[in-house]
Amino acid sequence: MLIKDVSIIEAGRLQSGRDILIEEGRITSVGSDLGRNSNEEEIIDGRGKLAIPGLINGHTHLAMTLLRGYADDMELMPWLQEKIWPLEAKITEEDVFWGVKLGCLELIRFGITCYNDMYYFPDTAACATREMGLRAFLSGVVFDMKPELLGQVEPFIRRWKGDELIVPTVGPHAAYTCSEETLLKVKEIADRHDAMIHIHLSETREEVDGFLLSKGKSPVEYLDSLGLVNERLAAVHCVWLSPEDCHLLAQRKANVISCTESNLKLTSGIAPLNTMMQAGINVCLGTDGASSNNNLSLFEEMKTTAIAQKNAYHTPANFSAEQIWHMATENAARAFRLGLGLRPGALADLALIDLKKPWFWPQSNIISHLVYSMAGGVDTTIVAGKVLMQNGVIPGEEEILEKAQERFLRLTS
């Protein structure tokens, strides 16, 4: 496949007239006039478009896209007890299948080529994701109230290890919902398979206070004492970290996935990203599930993160567009150990954005526009060299919308 005459970002600036050659799922060349000697049959016209590396959504519960708008504007406990948990008790594999597909539609439309997920029925999520053509890091959720879940982790990993698109991971829900024994077990499995651990960590003040009172340790210190804090950890939220927690996470090379919009909507607080970055933590971005965000756009998440953090620290010059863009791209690629980028040898995971939208004009500072003014325009999304959306069209989209609606009506009936 050859993408001809596209714009890319070089040293922070828009460069037009570039060609991108893709062979066997990887970018093999980026330059000018690559088409001259090419016999490529599949040619994508890149004129007026910007190519960016595919984005990674660092934290989702994709099947919960089915619950979007079902319960908003509630206190956390009534929300969980009266709305989310009763519905989740009824969720079937078929619900997960169509919920994940609905979520994938949205990811594709936002230029997201890979997502990191934790939910029930991960095999079903994996099948649905493969059919949609996206890349995903998937974990079944593990917590002690459903003890049968723990036993399903290793078989799931064995089934999907080595898959081209699906990377199985381990998903203990949180330190407060898993016993020490469970956490040691998931660590053992993760170590054995060199798998990532995906966990909600220090999301609320109550969680942290609870650990300090009962164990004399913060949740981060507690997890570290069990050996779970390392470069394969994706620690989600981390709203209530002490400076010591930050230094510990940095020292262990753990990754933090910040979810500003979900944290604001659920009133969990604003994560201390300034302290994290100063400590040297690899900070990435995620949207959380659509029942607490309520969409899966990383562009929106970038802007909200930048402006909420600027205001929280009274530092307008900090959390610059470049820093935030770096979090969403390079940091995420590092956390998930994915060779992403518009360069030879990288995975052919990318998106083309229509630069003719007015929010990209004047064409002054493309990174600023992507972070602060982007309001749509992803035109083409490609994963592993396969086109999932072109000219804004995703084959089969309408059937997925209808099936998702059917599943939602069944769930809530």
Span near a second copy by CB under 8 A; candidates 4-12, 113-121, 264-272, 345-353: 264-272
**Contacting a second copy (CB under 8 A), which of 76, 80, 127, 189?**
76
Q: How far is the CB of 200 from a second copy (least distance, A)?
A: 17
- Helix, coil or strand: residue 52: strand
**Contacting a second copy (CB under 8 A), which of 117, 207, 261, 379?**
261
Q: Strand 55-60 relative to strand 112-119: parallel, antiparallel, unpaired?
A: parallel
The two tokens of residue 59 are 């934290």
- For residue 202, which of 262, 261, 242, 253 has the smallest C-alpha distance? 242
**Contacting a second copy (CB under 8 A), which of 60, 124, 255, 263?**
263
122 contacts: CB under 8 Å, gap ≥ 6: 138, 139, 140, 156, 168
The residue (of 32 and 412) whose beta carbon lies closer to a second copy is 412
Work out whether 267 is an interface residue with a second copy (CB under 8 A).
Answer: yes
Span near a second copy by CB under 8 A; candidates 5-13, 215-223, 286-294, 345-353: 286-294
CA distance 25 to 238: 35
Q: How far is the CB of 375 from a second copy (least distance, A)?
A: 5
Q: How many residues touch a second copy (CB under 8 A)?
A: 73
Work out whether 320 is an interface residue with a second copy (CB under 8 A).
Answer: yes
Cβ–Cβ < 8 Å for 27, 344? yes
Work out whether 70 is an interface residue with a second copy (CB under 8 A).
Answer: yes
Q: What is the dihedral of CA 58, 281, 169, 55, to 10 degrees?
A: 30
CA distance 121 to 345: 33
**Contacting a second copy (CB under 8 A), which of 297, 331, 380, 381?**
297
The two tokens of residue 405 are 């609606």
Work out whether 88 is an interface residue with a second copy (CB under 8 A).
Answer: no
User: By CB under 8 A, what part of segment 332-391 binds a second copy?
Assistant: 356-359, 361-366, 368-369, 372-376
**Contacting a second copy (CB under 8 A), which of 11, 314, 393, 413?**
314
The residue (of 93 and 354) whose beta carbon lies closer to a second copy is 354
339 contacts: CB under 8 Å, gap ≥ 6: 333, 345, 346, 347
The residue (of 36 and 314) whose beta carbon lies closer to a second copy is 314
Q: How far is the CB of 336 from a second copy (least distance, A)?
A: 24
Work out whether 300 is an interface residue with a second copy (CB under 8 A).
Answer: yes
What is the distance between the terminal CA atoms of the chain, rounded to a whole angstrom?
A: 47
Work out whether 294 is an interface residue with a second copy (CB under 8 A).
Answer: yes
The two tokens of residue 192 are 């054995």
- For residue 116, which of 325, 301, 257, 293 has the smallest C-alpha distance? 257
CA distance 112 to 344: 20
Q: How far is the CB of 68 from a second copy (least distance, A)?
A: 6
H or E segment to which residue 29 belongs: strand 26-31
Q: How far is the CB of 137 from a second copy (least distance, A)?
A: 21
Cβ–Cβ < 8 Å for 234, 259? no
**Contacting a second copy (CB under 8 A), which of 4, 18, 68, 200?**
68
Work out whether 413 is an interface residue with a second copy (CB under 8 A).
Answer: no
Work out whether 113 is an interface residue with a second copy (CB under 8 A).
Answer: no
